[in-house]
């Protein structure tokens, strides 16, 4: 119980299953009182419905959730808390129409119970009475009642259906009978359709009926008749596009009708859905209507009810549409019949008219009667009255022109023989004497056995035609002559461009013969650049008969060239006898060429005139500008700020009055006929030089003006000036520097020398022809060969080079030259030019020599000074120091006698030594001065002999041997005293420093070499350790031999000084204890 | 420090050597005095005398520059190659007549040269040298 309580409390509704069976009877209790629910539940459990399933709802709304549950019984508390009493009962009744209903009331006094009872429609039960028996009974009763009600309901429905069917049948019958009635009376399609719609609406009770006509071209159905569509909705039915596979399209394609019994949910009618709902349409049928076996119409019927169309309905409607189709067929046939009749009448009258217009008459001759019946026009042609239309063969023959009679008879006889159709042309003479040309044709008529029964034919009055023909022929002849003899080309072409005629001049100008040309189309002949315009013009011409257009185009000559043609095309397509597009044109190549040339010349001239930096203008005799180029205009604008127009005053521009006057004079000079050029300077805008040329313009013998050309030569002027300046500066520079330049063109061998080169050689430019030979003639013979070698080498290697040379100066003082050269090569690396400089460097050379001398002198003096200083500090100081020391000792009174003697002796030696040093010093200084002594021829043998004599004692003492050999050369130009000193010092050294116990052997030999003399002094003495002392050998006061203390270190110093003073060199070779050799060289 | 006990004079000029001998004697001290005319000889003497002798002899050597064969410089060059033991015993003074600044500078630059004395040698100079080596 608790569980149920909870359920009821917590939920609005629930299912309380009294049994487990799924098939149990379903009972719905609508009750908001829990204790009542429990109570009823208990009663049910005890009743015979104990296995039922009890659903409980706490209010009416919740109960509706079970409306689909197929409740057998509903128990409704009429006094629900939120309930509405009897309205609740009606609501439940409506929602559960197939369920039995028991109302739960409070008691018999319950007002609601009364009301329920009043209607006697429902069972009730008072709550306080409920027990299982009453419940059982009441339920059963309620169920019975429910069943009865259901049965009654069903019977009612069936009755109503039968009624409906009857009604429908009536309706359908009315519909079809009405339609058929109308069909019987109506003779036209439009009325039929309109009536069909009307009847469908009125008798068929359709809400809408309309007929659509198929418009195949636009794939549409057009509404042509309707009933029931409000004006506002009409647009939806008009111009309905056929949907592919849509209902209309399907009908037209298949011939089958289309039904939708539920438009709202019909997928195929989606597009109509919205409208259908709006219009309240439930079902529809669309049926095909045929006309002559083609489905051309659809019959559309709409009902407001869904499921409207059943079998009978459909069958009837198919029949109706069949009837309509049949009616249409009938209409058509009738129409055709009427039309045929009208046509016949029409044709007959037209024939008459036609015959009249065409002057064609017809006739029939019956062989049976021999009578001929002539038509009105035939009578008119033959000049007889229409009433006289019965003629005969003979009467006809009487009209024939006598000249044509034989021929006519011949043909008619022939025709009669063969019974074949015939034509003949002949003349007739009318009664009034007029002659007419007749063309007649005849045919035999046969009966069914093939026997000829008559003859019929036409007579055509061709008099006018004949006359016109003749005129045309005449005209055409004239025309042809004109065309064919004319220079212009004429063609005739069809609308499509096919050429039908061309004049013979085509051959002259375009090269084609007629046959070839007739095969051509415009596209074959006209230049691709011109064709588009041509075709455009031609197309618009086709729209405007009689009009022309002008063309100028290139046409293809047979030889492949393009020929410029000019002409017109005229649309004479409508012109009888011409019926063509007529082209007249001529070859304008020559004019075109001239024009092109002229245009080119003009442009070319303009280009030339305007593409120059020169100013070009022309002036007439009134000083007015005739023409000018752009450059001129620009300059005028620049100078004056104004533009000068053609015809403007040329003397009113730009310049100062003074300048303008000068120009005026120049113009006047030109007007006199003078052609001239003058240079004009202007400082506008800046330094501005121009060369103005004047060319008089003549017209016949008369001068009408002058053409002027101004050429800007400012840059040239400046450049010339600069060139001249730099040339003169170069000359000046060359003269100052004594540098000349020269070049040899290696291709022509031409030598070019600058002015300075002539100056260097002191020759006149005009007197000589520059050449290598001329150059060598100025070179000192000593240097010629060496320079020639240099040049030879240069031409082998093509390398830059230089040389120094002495000039061959006949008058004495030597001059020196320096030359330097380079090669210039062309793009093939081939030398093309040798160029260089030649400089007179005598002054520099002399300066250098002087400088060298001074430098050498200064160096020597410096050396001397050093030597002097050395001598003073060493050699002079040495004896002095001794003297000081000794003299101090000498003053010592305690000095022992022996010692005193030694001191005095030392003092004496020191003083002597001092004296020697001073003497040597003097000698050395003397040597320097003697250099300036005059040179003389000195004989080595004489000097050697003199010295031998002077030291003969020493030679004897040492047993020395002296050997001299001056056989090769014995004399030299030099300073004698120096040679003497040299010989003396070297000989005495050899004597002094001999090896102990070895007699000195001294050899002196002179050798003559190229450009020099060599003297060799050899001894077998002690030698000098050159390894250690070599650098000091020739030093002053250098001594190398301890055994020979008397050496002062002066000799070799003196020798070297003196050798060098007279331009020689000395060299020593020595080996200790072997001997020494001095080698002295003198330049000669 | 050892007491100065020997003087050596090297000069090719006999007069100079005589003057040295005289001046040193004049100081009144008793020194062993050796004189050489040739530096090579002096060098031989030093090598033999000072390397064999275990006793160290403090010696003042008066050396002339300008001499034939070996100059004073040659001597100094050879002397420098000797053992320090020998070199320590010998105090070299250049005794030259040259007043050339170049000579003086060169002497002073030599590490084995104590001083440069310009000739003639005097009693004063010798006394001062002796004083230098007195205790």
Instruction: For A141-152, write each residue's pLDDT tens digit.
Output: 777 877 887 787
Q: Which residue of B has its CA nearest to A874?
A: B98
Distance between CA A1055 and CA A1059 in Å, rounded? 6
Q: How many angstroms from the chain centroid is the CA of residue A648?
A: 48
Residue A281 has pLDDT above 60, yes or no: yes
The sign of the torsion formed by the CA atoms of A361, A365, A369, A371 equals: positive
Reported confidence tier of residue A6, pLDDT bands at 50, 70, 90: very low
Q: Which residues of A touch B10 (CB under 8 A)?
A: none
Of these ranges, A189-198, A274-283, A861-870, A1008-1017, the one predicted with the greatest mean pLDDT is A1008-1017
Residue B113 has pLDDT above 80, yes or no: yes
A993 touches chain B (CB under 8 A): no
- Decide: helix, strand or coil at residue A307: coil
Mean pLDDT of chain A: 82
Average pLDDT over residues A617-633: 88
A1037 touches chain B (CB under 8 A): yes
Residue A396 has pLDDT above 60, yes or no: yes
Give me the pLDDT at residue A111, please: 66
| Segments in A186-310 forming alpha helices (H) | 189-202, 247-254, 270-279
- pLDDT tens digits for range A295-315: 888 888 888 888 888 887 788
Q: Which residue of B has its CA nearest to A888?
A: B122
Query: Which candidate in A868, A869, A876, A877 is best for mutational testing of the B interface (most B CBs within 10 A)?
Result: A877
Q: Which residue of B has its CA nearest to A894?
A: B26
Residue A16 has pLDDT above 70, yes or no: no
- Decide: helix, strand or coil at residue A271: helix
Residue A1048 has pLDDT above 50, yes or no: yes
**Residues ≥6 apart with Cβ < 8 Å to A876:** A914, A917, A918, A921
Q: Is there a contact between A878 and B119 if contact means CB atoms under 8 Å apart?
A: yes
Q: Is there a contact between A873 and B98 if contact means CB atoms under 8 Å apart?
A: yes
Q: Which of A214-228, A500-514, A809-823, A1041-1055 has the lowest mean pLDDT?
A: A1041-1055
Residue A1045 has pLDDT above 50, yes or no: no
Q: Which of A126-140, A499-513, A535-549, A831-845 has the lowest mean pLDDT?
A: A126-140
User: Is A642:A651 a contact under the CB 8 Å cutoff?
Assistant: no
Q: Is there a contact between B68 and A910 if contact means CB atoms under 8 Å apart?
A: no
A897-930 and A976-992 helices cross at what angle (nearest 10)?
140
Give me the pLDDT at residue A139, please: 81
Distance between CA A369 and CA A13 in Å, rounded? 118
Residues A356-360: contacts with CB under 8 Å, at least 24 apart: A356/A380, A358/A460, A359/A460, A359/A461, A359/A462, A359/A463, A359/A464, A360/A458, A360/A459, A360/A460, A360/A461
Distance from CA of B33 to the nearest CA of A (A): 16
Of these ranges, A61-65, A468-472, A754-758, the one predicted with the greatest mean pLDDT is A754-758
Cα–Cα distance list, A320 to A183, A200, A229 (Å) = 10, 10, 21
Residue B69: name the closest of A870, A1019, A876, A1024 by CA: A1024
Residue B35 has pLDDT above 90, yes or no: yes
Task: Tell me the residues of B at the A interface, defined by beta carbons under 8 Å apart.
Answer: 12-16, 18-19, 22-23, 26, 37-38, 66, 68-69, 97-100, 103, 118-122
Q: Which of A53-67, A468-482, A677-691 has the lowest mean pLDDT?
A: A468-482
A585 touches chain B (CB under 8 A): no
Q: Which residue of B has its CA nearest to A893?
A: B26
Query: Which candidate in B18, B103, B105 is best for mutational testing of the A interface (most A CBs within 10 A)?
Result: B18
Residue A257: name the closest of A179, A167, A319 by CA: A319
Reported confidence tier of residue A939, pLDDT bands at 50, 70, 90: very high
A1048 touches chain B (CB under 8 A): no
Distance between CA A334 and CA A324 in Å, rounded? 15
Residue in A869, A881, A899 nearest the CB of B97: A881
Distance between CA A251 and CA A905 in Å, rounded? 177
Cis peptide, bond prior to residue A799, ω within 30 of zero: no
Q: Is there a contact between B97 and A880 if contact means CB atoms under 8 Å apart?
A: yes
Q: Is there a contact between B69 and A1041 if contact means CB atoms under 8 Å apart?
A: yes
Q: How many angstroms from the chain centroid is the CA of residue A286?
A: 64
- pLDDT tens digits for range A707-755: 998 888 888 888 888 888 888 888 888 778 788 889 898 888 888 898 8
Give me the pLDDT at residue B111, please: 92
Q: Which residue of B has its CA nearest to A909?
A: B15
Distance from CA of B133 to the nearest CA of A (A): 24
Residue A501 has pLDDT above 90, yes or no: no
Residue A20 has pLDDT above 60, yes or no: no
Of these ranges, A4-13, A584-593, A978-987, the one predicted with the greatest mean pLDDT is A978-987
Reported confidence tier of residue A1037, pLDDT bands at 50, 70, 90: low
- pLDDT tens digits for range A370-383: 888 888 888 888 88
Q: Which residues of B touch A884 (CB under 8 A)?
A: 119-120
Reported confidence tier of residue A964, pLDDT bands at 50, 70, 90: very high
Q: Which residues of B touch A892 (CB under 8 A)?
A: 26
Reported confidence tier of residue A961, pLDDT bands at 50, 70, 90: very high
Residues 891-950 of A with CB under 8 A from B: 892, 899, 902-903, 906, 909-910
Reported confidence tier of residue A5, pLDDT bands at 50, 70, 90: very low
- Percentage, residues of chain A above pLDDT 70: 93
Give me the pLDDT at residue A2, please: 36
Q: Which residue of A has its CA nearest to B117?
A: A881
Q: Which residue of A has its CA nearest to B66?
A: A874
Q: Which residues of B touch A869 (CB under 8 A)?
A: 100
Residue A682 has pLDDT above 80, yes or no: no
Q: Does ipTM come in above 0.85?
A: yes
How many H-runs (helices) and E-runs (strands) does chain B carry? 6, 5
Tokens representing residue A543 in the block: 């729209």
Distance between CA A624 and CA A965 in Å, rounded? 112
- Percentage, residues of chain A above pLDDT 90: 5
Reported confidence tier of residue A15, pLDDT bands at 50, 70, 90: low
Give me the pLDDT at residue A113, please: 61
């Amino acid at each position: 119980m608790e569980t149920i309580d909870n359920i009821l409390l917590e939920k609005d509704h629930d299912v309380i299953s009294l049994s487990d069976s799924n098939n149990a009877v379903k009972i719905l209790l609508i009750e908001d009182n829990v204790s009542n629910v429990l109570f009823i539940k208990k009663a049910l459990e005890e009743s015979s419905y104990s296995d039922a399933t009890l659903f409980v709802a706490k209010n009416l709304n919740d109960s509706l959730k079970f409306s689909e549950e197929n409740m057998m019984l509903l128990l409704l508390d009429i006094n629900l808390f939120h309930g509405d009493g009897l309205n609740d009962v009606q609501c439940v009744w409506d929602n559960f129409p197939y369920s039995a209903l028991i109302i739960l009331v409070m008691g018999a006094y319950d007002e609601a119970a009364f009301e329920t009872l009043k209607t006697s429609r429902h069972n009730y039960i008072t709550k306080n009475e409920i027990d299982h028996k009453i419940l059982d009974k009441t339920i059963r009763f309620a169920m019975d009642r429910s069943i009865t009600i259901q049965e009654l309901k069903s019977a009612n429905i069936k009755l109503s259906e039968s009624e409906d069917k009857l009604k429908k049948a009536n309706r359908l019958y009315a519909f079809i009978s009405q339609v058929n009635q109308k069909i019987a009376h109506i003779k036209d399609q439009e009325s039929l359709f309109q009536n069909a719609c009307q009847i469908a609406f009125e008798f068929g009770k359709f809400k809408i009926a309309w007929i659509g006509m198929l418009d195949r071209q636009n794939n549409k159905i057009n509404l042509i008749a309707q009933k029931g569509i409000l004006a506002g909705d009409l647009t939806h039915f008009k111009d309905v596009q056929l949907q592919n596979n849509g209902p209309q399209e399907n009908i037209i394609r298949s011939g089958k009708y289309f039904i939708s019994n539920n438009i709202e949910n019909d997928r195929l009618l989606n597009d109509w859905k919205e409208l259908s709902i709006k219009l309240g349409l439930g079902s529809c049928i669309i049926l095909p209507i045929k006309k002559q076996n083609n489905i051309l119409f659809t019959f559309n019927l709409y009902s407001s009810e869904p499921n409207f169309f059943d079998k009978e309905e459909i069958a009837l409607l198919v029949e109706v549409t069949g009837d309509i189709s049949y009616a249409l067929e009938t209409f058509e046939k009738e129409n055709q019949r009427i039309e045929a009749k009208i046509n016949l009448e029409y044709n007959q009258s037209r024939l008459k008219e036609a015959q009249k217009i065409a002057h064609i008459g017809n006739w029939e001759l019956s062989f049976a009667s021999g009578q001929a019946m002539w038509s009105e026009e035939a009578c008119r042609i033959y000049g007889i009255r229409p009433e006289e239309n019965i003629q005969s063969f003979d009467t006809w023959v009487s009209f024939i022109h006598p000249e044509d009679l034989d021929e006519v008879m011949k043909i008619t006889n022939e025709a009669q023989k063969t019974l074949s159709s015939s034509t003949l042309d002949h003349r007739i003479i009318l009664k009034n004497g007029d002659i007419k040309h007749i063309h007649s044709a005849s045919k035999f008529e046969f009966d069914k056995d093939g026997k000829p029964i008559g003859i019929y034919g036409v007579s055509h009055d061709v008099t006018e035609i004949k006359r016109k023909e003749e005129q045309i022929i005449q005209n055409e002849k004239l025309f042809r002559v004109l065309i064919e003899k004319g220079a212009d080309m004429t063609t005739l072409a069809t609308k499509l461009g096919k050429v039908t005629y061309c004049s013979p001049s085509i051959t002259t100008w375009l090269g084609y013969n007629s046959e070839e040309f007739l095969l051509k189309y415009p596209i074959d002949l006209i230049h691709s650049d011109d064709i588009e315009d041509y075709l455009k013009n031609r197309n618009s011409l086709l729209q405007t008969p009689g009009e022309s257009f002008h063309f100028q185009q290139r046409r293809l000559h047979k030889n492949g060239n393009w020929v410029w043609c000019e002409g017109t095309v005229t649309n004479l397509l409508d012109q009888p006898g011409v019926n063509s597009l007529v082209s007249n044109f001529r070859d304008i190549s020559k004019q075109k060429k001239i024009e092109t040339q002229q245009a080119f010349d003009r442009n070319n001239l303009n280009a030339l005139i305007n593409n120059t930096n020169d100013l070009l203008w022309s002036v007439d005799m009134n000083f007015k500008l005739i023409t000018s180029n752009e450059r001129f205009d620009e300059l005028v604008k620049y100078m004056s700020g104004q533009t000068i127009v053609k015809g403007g005053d040329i003397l009113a521009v730009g310049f100062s009055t003074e300048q303008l006057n000068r120009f005026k004079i120049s113009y006047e000079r030109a007007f006199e006929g003078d052609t001239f050029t003058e240079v004009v300077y202007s400082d506008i805008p800046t330094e501005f030089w121009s060369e103005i040329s004047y060319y008089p313009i003549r017209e016949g013998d008369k001068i009408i003006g002058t053409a002027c050309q101004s050429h800007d030569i400012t840059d040239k002027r400046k450049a010339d000036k600069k060139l001249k300046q730099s040339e003169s500066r170069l000359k000046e520079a060359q003269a100052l520097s004594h540098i000349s330049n020269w070049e040899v063109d290696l291709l022509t061998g031409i030598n070019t020398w600058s002015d300075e080169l002539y100056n260097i050689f002191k020759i006149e430019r005009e007197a000589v022809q520059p050449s290598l030979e001329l150059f060598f003639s100025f070179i000192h013979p000593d240097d010629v060969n060496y320079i020639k070698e240099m040049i030879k080498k240069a031409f082998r290697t093509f390398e830059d080079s230089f040389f120094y040379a002495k000039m061959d100066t006949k008058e004495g003082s030597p001059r020196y030259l320096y030359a330097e050269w380079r090669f210039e090569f062309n793009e093939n690396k081939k030398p093309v030019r040798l160029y260089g400089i030649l400089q007179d460097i005598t002054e520099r050379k002399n300066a250098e020599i002087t400088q060298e001398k001074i430098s050498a002198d200064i160096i020597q003096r410096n050396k001397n000074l050093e030597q002097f200083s050395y001598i003073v500090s060493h050699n002079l100081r040495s004896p002095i120091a001794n003297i000081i020391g000794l003299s101090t000792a000498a003053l010592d009174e305690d000095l022992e006698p022996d010692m005193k003697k030694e001191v005095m002796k030392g003092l004496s030696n020191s003083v002597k030594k001092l004296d020697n040093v001073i003497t040597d010093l003097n000698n050395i200084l003397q040597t320097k001065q003697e250099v300036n002594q005059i040179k003389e021829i000195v004989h080595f043998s004489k000097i050697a002999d003199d010295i031998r004599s002077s030291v003969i004692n020493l030679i004897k003492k040492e047993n020395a041997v002296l050997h001299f050999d001056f056989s090769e050369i014995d004399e030299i130009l030099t300073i004698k005293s120096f040679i003497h000193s040299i010989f003396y010092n070297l000989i005495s050294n050899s004597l002094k420093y001999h090896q102990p116990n070895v007699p000195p052997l001294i050899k002196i030999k002179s050798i003559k070499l190229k450009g020099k003399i060599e003297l060799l002094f050899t001894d077998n003495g002690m030698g000098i350790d050159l390894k250690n002392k070599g650098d000091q050998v020739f030093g002053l006061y250098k001594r190398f031999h301890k055994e020979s203390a008397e050496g002062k270190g002066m000799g070799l110093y003196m020798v070297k000084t003196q050798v060098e003073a007279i331009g020689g060199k000395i060299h020593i070779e020595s080996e200790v204890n072997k001997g020494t050799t001095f080698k002295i060289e003198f330049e000669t | 420090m050892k007491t100065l006990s020997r003087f050596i004079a090297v000069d090719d000029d006999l007069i100079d050597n005589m003057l040295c001998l005289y001046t040193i004697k004049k100081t009144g001290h008793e020194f062993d005095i050796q004189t050489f005319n040739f530096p090579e000889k002096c060098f031989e003497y030093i090598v033999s005398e000072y390397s064999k002798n275990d006793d160290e002899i403090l010696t003042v050597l008066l050396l002339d520059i300008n001499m034939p064969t070996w100059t004073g410089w040659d001597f100094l060059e050879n002397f420098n190659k000797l053992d320090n033991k020998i070199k320590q015993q010998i105090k070299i003074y250049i005794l030259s007549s040259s007043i050339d600044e170049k000579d003086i500078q060169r002497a002073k630059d030599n590490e084995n040269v104590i001083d440069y004395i310009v000739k003639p040698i005097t009693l004063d100079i010798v006394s001062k040298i002796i004083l230098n080596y007195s205790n």
